[in-house]
Each structure stands twice: as C-alpha cells, then as structure tokens.
Structure 1
C-alpha cells in the first residue's frame, strides 16, 4: 500500500515512516524538507499521487489558541482538499486524549482538526493517544537553564513507537471514525516522571511542578488527561523505556 505520512520528519512521524516501511508499505514523507508545505498546499498533489492512505501526525509547538486553531485548520483543509483531488481513500489522524476535558489553547486547535477530519470528504479514522514518554525529555530540553517547570498533571503516557504501531495498523484497515483511545499501561504524575529522566538520563535539572495557571489546570491535575473508556494499551512501562533511553546520550542545553 502507498501511504503518505504528513509530518513524517517529526518525532512521531519518523517512527510511523519507519514502521510502515518495515511492514512493506511504499511510504511518502510529507514535510517542508521533502518539498511539501501543508500550510500553503504547495507540492501536495504531486506527493499524494497514487496514495491510498494518509497518516497525519503534523504538529505545531504553541500554547496559543489562535496559533493552534489557525495552523490545524489551514493544514487540515489543504490536506483534505488535496486528498479528495487525488483519490485518497483513507485519512488517519493522530489526536490527543483529553482535548474535550482540558480547555488548553493548543488542544482547541486539535479539536478543530478532529471536526474537520470527521466531517471531511475523505473517509477517516481518528486515534486519540495519551502523552508520549518522550514528553518527559521535551520538558527538560524545551528551555535552557537549570530549572524545568512542569505542570502538575496525571497522565497515562505511552511510548511513541507503540502509538506509531497502532497508527500503521489502523491505516491498513478501513476508515472507522473515532476509535478507542490509546494509552500506556500505568498512570503517572508527570513531574515525577520528568524528575526520573533528569536523574537517570539528563540533562540534570531541578524539576519544579506547578498548577497550570488557567481553568485547564484543574482537569489536567485530575482525570482530564486519562482515557475515559477501555481501549488499546501499550505494554512498555515507563521504567523499562527510561532504562533503554538512559543508554543514549543526553542532549546538552
């Protein structure tokens, strides 16, 4: 099957590309570095030629509602329109558990993205996943300095590689609308997980946990980011992932 991965050079995208190729699929990477711009639509028609399924893991780093909604609305509309022109049969979207419960600016963009995909012209599947284990490393490396500030949040994180496996599996099947949510095998307090990464992998920083300073903070600290119903669960536990990750060189900031 010919599969296109939108955001195929990002953290999750690289894993989706790798696993789809390992499964024997012909994979097209949609990214600016590959000459395709989701924000303008440039290069999309050529990239989607003979593509059966698109897996969209494109992303933007922002906490702004305006920026998030603008990005996901524009890129999703461009992608869906090109898919319709090119005869793409299935659109698979990676989304996030809890976006209906936590009224955070970035999540409002993801909600808009889901709306467009589920009401769009191409049959779609939407997989909501909890945060990735890799979020703990991002929390330590996002900003320079000796401190890492982490919102007080309960989560049930999953390895990004296991999310990639589930996305490829869904891409191989029929469009199914919103499917059961993906999560990891255990509930963690995220700041505690980040402290473990700082201690055993680095960069070594003081981790400060604070409530998120908005109405989003309360559900984030309680069950707002946890799956609400049974669904697929990753098998890799955080301690095992950290042990494997700790053997790789830590980034220096």
Structure 2
C-alpha cells in the first residue's frame, strides 16, 4: 500500500481519483480548500504531504480565460513540486487535455503552461492527456442557464471522468521508467459535442443549437483535439454513461 495525495480532490475528476485509490487499497490524502489545503497560497500543503509517496494533480481553474488559468497552473505545479520535494515524494502525475499542444487560445492552451511547469519541476513527472469529460456536456448547459443552449458542433471523443481517474492511478502506480509520447485517454468513439448535448438537453427540456464559430473551431473540426493513434480508448459512450446516471 502506498500513500497518495490528490490535489483537487473534491472536484469533478478528483473525487473519482480518490475513489479509485481507495478501492485499490491505497492510503489517500485528499487536498483541496475544503480540506484545508490551498495549492496556490501553500496553506496546509507541507502538512498534507507528510509521508506521501506520489502526488496526483487534478486541481483545476474554474474559468476559461487563458491568462488566469495559466497562472493558476504554473503556481500550483511549482508549489506541489517544491512541497513534494521537501516531503520526499517520488513522483507527481498531472492531468491535461488532448490537443493542448495544438490549441492557440483559452483554457486548453493554458494547459501548455501546466505541462511545462509539471515537467520542469524537481520531482519525476508524468502527464496524462484526457479528452473532454462526459460531465463537461452538462457544464456547457449549466453555464448558459436558459431554455436554449449553444454548443459547438465539433468532433470530440468524450470520456467518463471515472475512466480518466483509473488511467491516472494506473500511471501513478507504475514504477517502470516512462518514455515515449504523453499518454492519452479517451472514450470509445468520436462524437459530436452538440449531438451529445441534445441527448442531455432532452432530459432537461433545453433546446440545443449547434454552432461552429468558436475559438480554435477550425482546428477542432480538423480533428486536432481527437486522440492520437497511441491513445487508450476506454469506458462508456456518452449515451451509455447518461443512461447509467441516477
């Protein structure tokens, strides 16, 4: 049994990471502001990392503005690396987004800063790039707060957050030397974001209108944010996932 710390433990992805680690018999230290740990100010960080062997970083910024997101990721990665080094941690594993290396703007582009910060710190590091979560579709509808929602009609390979958590834990518990392309995890098939949103919208009595004029829309339409040939494809389709929700 190893001791893991999870940054962003109460978030959409983090709670699944905590569950997977717990189910596999590991000791878990959940880190979030709700547990008294702030990865930006450093409050509670040293204490939380005492005796921790591996840090899994799934802490995320709450908005899409690129500059603020980049600064959040840069600061969080630096603090986790430094506190982890002082605590004697062996590794840090962080979540990123498929296509971040091609993105030119917004939250996805900010992940370029995140990855650079994760790889440039003192601890050995791994990054897992994930497709957009199934849960992100509901977030798109929630943001618009109306009877009509405008959602990109662009290809994606939606994946369940639980599936991403399982891959992160697999990487975090793999002691073999890492090399090669950055691992990617995505759902079993390509889907259109607006069509997935219509499935959910029908349950919420929300009309979904597909749009093409979005940031990096041409890149997305060309498949820039779809998984590469080395990606692991796993988990349910969006419809299967949706049908399983309470």
How high is the TM-score relative to the length of structure 1? 0.92
The equivalences for 1:89-168 within 5 A come to 89-168=90-169
Question: Secondary structure of the residue that 1:157 maps to in structure 2?
Answer: coil
Q: How many residues align?
A: 243
Matched, 1:230 2:233: no
Other structure's SS at 2:37 match: coil
Q: Give the CA deviation at 1:112.
A: 0.5
Could you tell me which of 160, 183, 187 is aligned with 2:186?
A: 183
Q: What does residue range 11-90 of structure 1 map to in structure 2 within 5 Å?
A: 11-90=12-91
Deviation (angstroms), 1:194? 0.5
Match among 187, 197, 201 for residue 198 of structure 1 = 201
Q: Structure 1 residue 60: deviation in Å?
A: 1.0
TM-score (norm 2): 0.94
| Shift in Å, 1:219 | 0.7
Unaligned stretches of 5+ in structure 1?
A: 249-253
Uncovered stretches (5+) of structure 2, i.e. residues with no partner? none
What is the DSSP-based 3-state SS (H/G/I as helix, E as strand, rest coil) of the residue aligned with 1:127?
Answer: strand
Q: SS of 2:67's equivalent?
A: helix
Would you say the 8 A contact 2:127–2:183 is kept in 1?
no
In 1, Cα distance between equivalents of 2:109 and 2:182: 20
CA distance in 2, matches of 1:60, 1:128: 16
> Corresponding residue for 1:251?
none
What is the distance in 2 between the residues matched to 1:176 and 1:190?
Answer: 33
Compute the displacement of 1:84 (Å). Answer: 1.0
In the TM superposition, residue 66 of structure 1 has moved relative to its aligned partner by 1.1
C-alpha RMSD of the superposition: 1.4
